Amino acid sequence: MIAIIGAGVFSIVIVLSFLIVCGFPLGELTMGGRYKVFPKKLRIVLVMQIIIQIFFVVIILQMGGLIPFWFSENATKIICIIMAAYLSFNTIMNFISKSKKEKYIMTPLSAISAVCFWIITL
């Protein structure tokens, strides 16, 4: 159940990132709200980030036993720990953001994802 919650919440972030790549004015949800609409050069970077985020959804689902492992269980667990640590740091950064939208929308998403990654890993 924790893996499904973590994957679901993290998938919301993926959808928001995809909408930002498509040019929707949701840029205030990321990077401290620097851009309302992301510049095209940054959208390319965000596409790479989306691919990585999808990979991490697969990882949490694997750790939850919902899909078969691509890597050994130990390697998957290490990846999951790294992601949990990253999301914990990301939660702090979102919380101290100057952008209210990033602070109030992305912080809870990141925090819930981090907790799910920690629980499923440990």
CA–CA separation, 50 and 91 (whole Å): 18
| Structural domain count of the chain | 1
Cβ within 8 Å of residue 49, ≥6 positions away = 17
- Per-residue confidence of the chain (122 residues) as pLDDT tens digits? 899 999 999 999 999 999 999 999 988 888 888 888 988 888 999 999 999 999 999 999 999 999 998 889 899 999 999 999 999 999 999 999 999 999 999 999 999 999 999 999 98
* pTM for the full predicted model: 0.87
Q: At what angle do helices 107-121 and 2-21 cross, to 10 degrees?
A: 140
CA–CA separation, 84 and 44 (whole Å): 25
Nearest-CA neighbor of 119 among 78, 60, 62, 40?
A: 60
Residue range of the domain that includes 45: 2-121
